[in-house]
Structure 1
Amino acid sequence: MTQHRNITILKEQVLPGESKTITMEIARLHTMTKLKIPIIVERSKIDGPVVLFSAGLHGDEINGIEIVRQLIVRKINKPKCGTIICIPVINMFGFVNKSREFPDGRDLNRVFPGSKNGSLASRFAYFLLKEIIPNVDYCVDFHAGGASRFNAAQIRIVPGNEELKSLADVFNAPFTLYSKNITGSFRNSCTKLGVKMLLFEGGKSLDINHDITHEGVQGVKRFLQHFDMLTPRKKPVDAAAPTLYIDKSTWIRARHSGLFQHKAQTGQFVHKGEVIACITDPFGKFEQKVKAPSSGYIINANDSPIVYQGDAIFHISLSTV
Structure 2
Amino acid sequence: MKFTILPVALGAVLLLTQSCVSNKKYQELQTQHNDLQAKNKDLNVRFLNSQQELAVANNRVKSLEDQISAGRANLQALQNALDKCLTSSGQGNANIGKLVDEINSSNKYIQQLVNSKNKSDSLNMVLTNNLTRSLSQSEMKDVNVQVLKGVVYISLSDNMLYKSGSYEISDKANATLTKIAKIITDYKDYEVLVEGNTDNVPIKSNNIRNNWDLSALRASSVVQTLQNQFRVDPKRLTAGGRGEYNPIADNSTEAGRVKNRRTQIIITPKLDQFMDLIEKAPEKAPGATGTTPTPAPTQQ
TM-score computed with the length of structure 1 as normaliser: 0.29
TM-score computed with the length of structure 2 as normaliser: 0.30
Structure number with greater CO (CA < 8 Å, separation at least 6) is 2
Larger radius of gyration: 2
Higher helix proportion (structure 1 or 2): 2
